[in-house]
Amino acid sequence: MQFLDEASITVIAGHGGNGSLSFRREKYVARGGPDGGDGGDGGSVYLVADDHLNTLIDFRYQPRYRAEVGLGGSGRNKTGASGSDLYVKVPRGTTVIDEETEQIIGDLTSPGETLLVATGGRRGLGNTRFKSSTNRAPRKTTPGGDGEERRLRLQLKLLADVALLGLPNAGKSTFVRAVSAAQPKVANYPFTTLVPSLGVVRLDSETAFVVADIPGLIEGAAEGAGLGTRFLRHLSRARLLLHLVDAAPLDGSDPLASVALIEAELAAYSASLAELPVVLALNKADLLPAEEAEALRERLQSSYPDRDVFVISAATKAGVEPLLWKLAESLLEPVSEEELEARADLRARIARDVRDRSAQERNARSSERRAAQEDEDDDFGAEVIEVRDD
Ligand SMILES: Nc1nc2c(ncn2[C@@H]2O[C@H](COP(=O)(O)OP(=O)(O)OP(=O)(O)O)[C@@H](O)[C@H]2O)c(=O)[nH]1
Ligand SMILES: [Mg+2]
């Protein structure tokens, strides 16, 4: 599930300031020497990796970035002010490609890492610089150099910040359609979604995150029932789980029981994945009287006192906005060093679980194949169909 977010931008470094042509003019000094100062250097453009950004959407709205020019020098040997450098924040994980040469200029992988993408023009020299024993009154100066200008292509592998979880038909894909531009298929039957997909949720100019639509889980999924749990490996980078529950299931089952079922399947797949923070949302509230939905919410809340529980309708979008802000807030809230370490540790454990799981599944598949092969040898004519989930 690798989605590429792309944007093209132009970065323009500042022109260097021109050197000045000037001679001293003072009372009683007939022929003053040269005193033209140098210009200032032009500002450069740098990209800097920032953990608070997670998409390249903003660059579509603002594609040009210009650093300050250096100012010209002046008389009395005054040097012109240098132009300030410009630091453009990009999400961590951004790859930077020169559009002209198609060459990768660099990858911004660690937070705070910077990459010089356009060098400021050099300062021009004032005529003072050209004074010599043979030329006491030089009229020569040099102009400031051009700032570099480049077209860059930024690429970012989108990773899900929030992953949806729930039974088939809970309304996960409907939710993703409601909150992002992504258009996963929605239909009134289970297992409509067969592979995960991603959507970017934009809340305001500074707040965006990525949600993953996931195939439904069912009882026994960890043992391979339904679509199994293989696609859960795509969640190994998610930081939050949003568990959607059908508040008015057609089969009349208890939504609380479905929550417990999904949680059990998740834990059976990976105990560490199940440690991720979970936000619960009762969906399809439009199908219930408000009091009933509220009563359900209260029951769910008392079973899971530490979790946020929302009541929403993905179809009408009622209640969706506060839920999205809650998710954004949890993703962006500043955290302590210890918390960061704990998260890194959890991520490492999840990655290990996912690796172990994948290895087990591969083994299971190959022994299934062996069994099928033997069947064939026995002339049972079994047909083996390989199903890939990506
Ligand atoms: N009334 C109502 N119907 C909804 C709501 N959300 C989803 N549905 C309907 O529920 C059915 C299933 O929706 P999907 O979004 O496909 O469900 P899903 O969870 O993605 O299902 P799978 O991909 O099979 O796991 C569709 O008929 C939707 O129109 C809602 O808030 N209210
Ligand atoms: Mg779906």
Do 182 and 215 lie in one domain? The reply is: yes
Q: Give the residue-averaged pLDDT of 348-368.
A: 81
Q: Tell me the best of 172, 186, 217, 227 to mutate to test the pocket of ligand 1, counting ligand atoms within 8 Å of each CB and taking the most.
A: 186
Beta strands across the sheet bearing 149-158: 64-66, 3-12, 149-158, 94-98, 104-108
Give the percent of the chain with pLDDT over 70: 93
**How do beta strands 94-98 and 149-158 pair?**
antiparallel
Whole-angstrom distance, CA of residue 84 vs CA of residue 45: 9
Whole-angstrom distance, CA of residue 235 vs CA of residue 152: 30
Asked, for residue 368, whether it belongs to a domain, the answer is no
Atom nearest to 312 CA in ligand 1: 31
Confidence band of 4 (pLDDT split at 50, 70, 90) = low
| Tens-digit pLDDT profile for residues 317-340 | 999 999 999 999 998 888 899 998
Task: Output 284 or 183, whichever has higher pLDDT.
Answer: 284
Confidence band of 389 (pLDDT split at 50, 70, 90) = very low
Asked, for residue 212, whether it belongs to a domain, the answer is yes
Q: Tell me the best of 172, 174, 191 to mutate to test the pocket of ligand 1, counting ligand atoms within 8 Å of each CB and taking the most.
A: 174
Do 184 and 269 lie in one domain? The reply is: yes
Q: What is the CATH number of the domain that holds 272?
A: 3.40.50.300
- Exposure string over 348-378, b if 16+ CB within 10 A, otherwise e: eebeebbeebeeeeeeeeeeeeeeeeeeeee
Based on its alpha-carbon atoms, the radius of gyration of the chain, rounded to whole angstroms, reads 31
Domain membership of residue 179 as a residue range: 162-349
In the structure encoding, which two tokens stand for residue 68, read together?
Answer: 């300050």
Atom nearest to 185 CA in ligand 1: 16
Asked, for residue 16, whether it belongs to a domain, the answer is yes
Domain total in the chain: 2
Atom nearest to 283 CA in ligand 1: 31
pLDDT of residue 30: 66
The alpha carbon of 237 is separated from its chain's Cα centroid by a whole number of angstroms, namely 11
Do 327 and 344 lie in one domain? The reply is: yes
Domain final residue, candidates 94, 125, 158: 158
Q: Give the residue-averaged pLDDT of 145-172.
A: 91
Any bridge partners for residue 210, and if so which? Answer: 200
Q: What is the CATH number of the domain that holds 8?
A: 2.70.210.12
pLDDT of residue 297: 96
Confidence band of 70 (pLDDT split at 50, 70, 90) = very high
Do 26 and 140 lie in one domain? The reply is: yes
| Tens-digit pLDDT profile for residues 13-58 | 999 999 999 998 877 766 788 999 999 999 999 999 987 787 787 8
Task: Output 377 or 298, whichever has higher pLDDT.
Answer: 298
The secondary structure of 111-154 as a DSSP string is TT-EEEEEPPPPPPPPGGGG--SS-SS-----PPPPPPEEEEEE
Do 256 and 326 lie in one domain? The reply is: yes
Range name among 53-67, 215-229, 295-309 with the lowest pLDDT average = 215-229
Do 78 and 108 lie in one domain? The reply is: yes
- Find the 188 Cα to ligand 2 centroid distance in Å: 10
Atom nearest to 194 CA in ligand 1: 23
- Find the 194 Cα to ligand 1 centroid distance in Å: 14
pLDDT greater than 70 at residue 376: no
Q: Which ligand neighbours the alpha carbon of 217 most closely? A: 1
Contact yes or no for 346/272 (Cβ under 8 A): yes
pLDDT greater than 50 at residue 387: no
Asked, for residue 148, whether it belongs to a domain, the answer is yes
Do 294 and 182 lie in one domain? The reply is: yes
Range name among 122-136, 195-209, 290-304 with the lowest pLDDT average = 195-209
- Find the 174 Cα to ligand 2 centroid distance in Å: 7
Domain final residue, candidates 126, 158, 190: 158
pLDDT of residue 379: 38
In the structure encoding, which two tokens stand for residue 334, read together?
Answer: 């500043």
Q: Which residue has the tokens 């500074």?
A: 206
Atom nearest to 287 CA in ligand 1: 1
Q: Which residues contact 351 (CB under 8 A, 6 or more apart)?
A: 236
Do 213 and 225 lie in one domain? The reply is: yes
| Mean pLDDT (the chain, rounded) | 87
pLDDT of residue 384: 32
- Find the 189 Cα to ligand 2 centroid distance in Å: 9
Domain final residue, candidates 105, 124, 158: 158
Q: Which residues contact 340 (CB under 8 A, 6 or more apart)?
A: none
| Tens-digit pLDDT profile for residues 76-131 | 999 999 999 999 999 888 999 999 998 999 989 888 999 999 999 999 999 999 99
pLDDT of residue 378: 44
Residues 114/116/118/123 CA torsion (nearest 10 deg): 110
Residues whose beta carbon lies within 6 Å of some atom of ligand 1 = 166, 168-174, 186-188, 190-193, 215-216, 283-284, 286-287, 313-315
Q: Which residue's CA is minimally distant from atom 23 of ligand 1? A: 193
User: Among 14, 45, 22, 41, which residue's Cα sits nearest to residue 124?
Assistant: 41
Whole-angstrom distance, CA of residue 243 vs CA of residue 164: 6
Range name among 55-64, 92-101, 284-293, 297-306 with the lowest pLDDT average = 55-64
Confidence band of 370 (pLDDT split at 50, 70, 90) = confident
Asked, for residue 376, whether it belongs to a domain, the answer is no
CA distances from 184 to 52, 180, 197, 214, 217 (A): 27, 10, 7, 10, 17
Do 138 and 187 lie in one domain? The reply is: no
Q: Which ligand neighbours the alpha carbon of 287 most closely? A: 1
Whole-angstrom distance, CA of residue 235 vs CA of residue 210: 12
